[in-house]
Structure 1
């Protein structure tokens, strides 16, 4: 249990302004977002679309609020575009995160992805990769892993609804065919449960390669409605499929116990893409942090 105080807790800005649906929370400013993240008791943040792109400018805003940067998302197109295009974007992204002191780089393959398509049914039209595309993805990720290592960093792959790496089998394929030295995994409770996977099983199987964690909960009634009505991923977000830990169907206690027992010492990011007009971001961020306190009593959230 010694490592409890090595785990750091961050909050994602997507609850204030949604990156995939920018009109959600367009009225919420960057400064409001980071101020409320700090006020809710978190010590870190991921990067949203309103955050300054200049590291020195961003540092000034974050340091006075005692916030660090945990990581930030990068969309890759290794299966559909020339590698050089992703490489160029990756290096720019890597250098920005390195300047901000982050240790991991979140990547997610968006070739053939339907996650951003409002009118494409999520469960009925999920994309899959061909054998050739799997080869492009695996080789490309390993090359990105090498580039990350140049800065003493690691890539963490984000399995995601509506993409070619979503299910238990697909995550297994990725992990089994990539080098643990070059490719690590982001563990996201919400995406696993919405997909129908068992998050505890996934964590236990790949815990040695999990270097970044997203905690989000799922509203069971909305998830069922999404399947029955053929909703897209974004339609599900608008309906409220996701919420903060402790407000949905997931039992986080055994998951947190497994995380602590594993010796994990990275970030746990509370993330719940919701409509801020329906779910006040500060209130939900605070609700999520207070729930986390019940999972690790006597330990200080840092």
Structure 2
């Protein structure tokens, strides 16, 4: 598969805070994503959960299913129990032809709680990394055996947030586990996305492109904000509307094949999701072309 450009519905309706865009119908999201140029969508909370219905809904607007976020709890439950919990989601992805599973540990995550500042985010002790990595690898082995690659989503407010966290995670996981490179979460977490791309390009099988507004990122730190407070303030935006050098980052991914997703949280009722989708798509195409990843 060559590079295809998809979108995440969080640009229309925020799953972590349904007050943001909760009134926007799924059909509007799919129609506007198609109008902007996208050919695939990741899952959101408004999507059907039966594969035939989901495929038909997406196809009506020219979309394929890209993947969908899965919240794991491997710190508190066994691999066996996790696989049982994952089964309906994995079957949905397989039934719709998706070949990557967006996976993140959330058993103690704080990104969904507006009252907990990011300074209080969970941290995994050194002695616990190997066991956690072994468990994720077991899940990755199992899903890859069914044709779906586990791609781990490093994320603000979780145990894999910082540059050191990402390096630790990649060190303790096996070859079945790949990285979802998220430019916005990497930057906010203190890592350089281009450096991550260069170091781990052989184990990057999914890419989320979101930009960062540097002034709001600084404000979030100065005021000890929670993740959701910063999102509402507008810390995230579409590619080309913030501080990240996407061309340099994408140049580090020569040979990459798969989906590149515009995944930028909606943060304002006054913001037109369609206008931002069009801006993000146009800028991403330009950056991919500049990086010689797209004709």
TM interval, shorter chain, is: over 0.9
Shift of 1:300: 10
TM-score normalised over the length of structure 1: 0.93
In structure 1, the partner of 2:88 is: 92
Counterpart CA distance in 2 for 1:274 and 1:293 is: 21
Counterpart CA distance in 1 for 2:293 and 2:192 is: 28
In structure 1, the partner of 2:219 is: 225
Counterpart CA distance in 1 for 2:85 and 2:13 is: 23
In structure 2, the partner of 1:251 is: 245
More deviation, 187-196/84-93: 84-93
Give the counterpart of 2:271 among 264, 275, 279: 279
Counterpart CA distance in 2 for 1:301 and 1:197 is: 26
Counterpart CA distance in 1 for 2:285 and 2:174 is: 35
Counterpart CA distance in 1 for 2:134 and 2:65 is: 28
Give the counterpart of 1:134 among 119, 123, 129: 129
Shift of 1:131: 4.2
In structure 1, the partner of 2:150 is: 155
Shift of 1:89: 1.9
User: Is the 1:79–1:133 Cα contact (8 Å) retained in structure 2?
Assistant: no
Shift of 1:84: 3.5
> What RMSD over aligned residues (CA atoms) do the two structures have, in Å?
1.8
Higher relative contact order (CA 8 A, sep 6+): 1
Shift of 1:142: 1.3
List per-residue Cα deviations over 1:168-202 (Å, max 9, x = no partner).
1111111111111x211100000011112111111
Give the counterpart of 2:67 among 45, 58, 71: 71
Q: How many residues in Structure 1 have an aligned counterpart in Structure 2?
A: 294
Map 1:192-231 to 2 at 5 A. 192-231=186-225
In structure 2, the partner of 1:144 is: 139
User: Is the 1:9–1:267 Cα contact (8 Å) retained in structure 2?
Assistant: yes
TM-score normalised over the length of structure 2: 0.95
Counterpart CA distance in 2 for 1:301 and 1:29 is: 32
- Structure 1 portions without partners, runs of 5+: none
User: Is the 2:12–2:24 Cα contact (8 Å) retained in structure 1?
Assistant: yes
More deviation, 211-220/125-134: 125-134
Counterpart CA distance in 1 for 2:63 and 2:126 is: 42
Matched position secondary structure for 2:53: helix
In structure 1, the partner of 2:169 is: 174
Shift of 1:133: 3.7
In structure 2, the partner of 1:54 is: 50
Counterpart CA distance in 2 for 1:64 and 1:16 is: 18
Shift of 1:296: 3.7
Relative distance call for 1:57 and 1:14 in structure 2 (3 A) is same
Give the counterpart of 1:115 among 111, 125, 131: 111
Counterpart CA distance in 2 for 1:22 and 1:283 is: 20
Counterpart CA distance in 1 for 2:128 and 2:106 is: 12
Counterpart CA distance in 2 for 1:202 and 1:271 is: 18
In structure 2, the partner of 1:24 is: 20
Shift of 1:14: 0.6
More deviation, 154-163/248-257: 248-257
In structure 2, the partner of 1:188 is: 182
Counterpart CA distance in 2 for 1:68 and 1:163 is: 29
Shift of 1:276: 4.5
List per-residue Cα deviations over 1:98-126 (Å, max 9, x = no partner).
1010010010001221111111111x212
- Say yes or no: does 1:81 pair with 2:77: yes
- Say yes or no: does 1:242 pair with 2:236: yes
